[in-house]
Amino acid sequence: MENGILSDYLPIDSSSLRTDTKIGCDLYLLVETGGNRRFTLYCRGDIIFEDDKKDQLLEGNISKLFIKKEDKQKYFDYLESNFQHIMSDKNISYDEKATIVHSTAINLMKDLYIAPRTGTIERTKTYAYNMVDYIIRDSVAAKSLMKIAVHEYYTYTHSVNVAAVGTLFAQSIGFKENELKSFCSGVLLHDIGKTRISPDILTKKGELTKEEFDKVKEHPRLGVEILKESGVDSINEQIITLQHHENYDGSGYPHGLKKSEIHHSGKVSRIIDVYDALTTDRSYAKEVRPFAALALMKKEMSNCFDKEIFQDFIRFLGPYDPRGKPRKGDVIQE
């Protein structure tokens, strides 16, 4: 038993823990007696989490356990290494699975953007393939994943949002399993070139100078450079990284490609990239609602997108707001 203060601990879903595994960090119960709240050790991280421990939680209807904040990375390492098994567990709800998908991916992206080395890039690819397996296996997953989004813009959260929405959209327009896996991996990695651009430029409030924007425009090329240095030889992942800012009319960057010169995956990733950027808070602009974003994209940026794919995207989002309830008048004319 130990006192501890609540801010020193993080809640986790007990359903995410597999029996016959070592969690890697100590697990605690929050117990209240006589008006006092105390944390008590439930299971040490260096011993096997056995069936009886899981059964006690189920019998007590306990859905939350706690870990120390300092053990957060250990817990995410556990989720990542057990991802496939957790996703196939029928006792875990769709919403809980969606939260695990999203939070694990964000933790992975943080690691990637801190240290974009071969190891973290390979972890990202493995995670992307497992995420696609989950989406293909469980169609209901789509609804839950669409509800999970981080509204504050960071490069790593943006990449996760784009991967979740983009992979579901790509599936809806006929991408096959192998295409989906390389697409999901490519989208997770698409902004990796920004790790070689000054954070002062990336987080600047207000308009960039021409010189600053020229540096930002280098990130697709720099991203492909990093992928090649790390041994990523998948053409589709390189294409998405290189082409996600190419516009249908040839006004994009870095190569000013247009129409059929842009790969199909490049056209799809361009749409999703813009959509997520508009619907999250950025350092220089407030988020707009999803349907307002679609209207803006159609009215002011139609030159950027393949018209047929953009209409498919509008139909994919459907008559609902994936980040909130629809409002009267939320209609995009096709």
Which run of H or E residues covers position 166?
helix 155-172
Give the integer Cα–Cα distance in Å for 163 and 157: 10
Contacting residues for 13 by C-beta, under 8 A, at least 6 apart: 63, 64, 92, 96, 99, 100
Which residue, chain included where needed, has tokens 């990375």? 73
Cβ pair 214, 157 in contact under 8 A:
no
Q: Is 194 a catalytic residue?
A: yes
Residue in 194, 267, 286, 307 annotated catalytic: 194
Joined together, the tokens standing for residue 268 give 């799809």
The answer to whether 189 and 222 have CB atoms below 8 angstroms apart is: no
Altogether, the residues listed in the chain come to a count of 334
Radius of gyration (C-alpha) of the chain in whole angstroms = 22
Strand order in the sheet with 27-33: 9-13, 64-68, 27-33, 36-43
DSSP H or E run through 77: helix 72-81
- DSSP class per residue in 255-289: S---GGGS-HHHHHHHHHHHHHHHTSBBTTB----
Which residue's structure tokens are 């859905």? Answer: 63
Rounded Cα distance, 240 and 170, in Å: 13
Burial of 312 (0-12, 13-18, 19+ CB in 10 A): middle
Give the residue carrying structure tokens 């006092």. 36
Residues labelled catalytic: 194
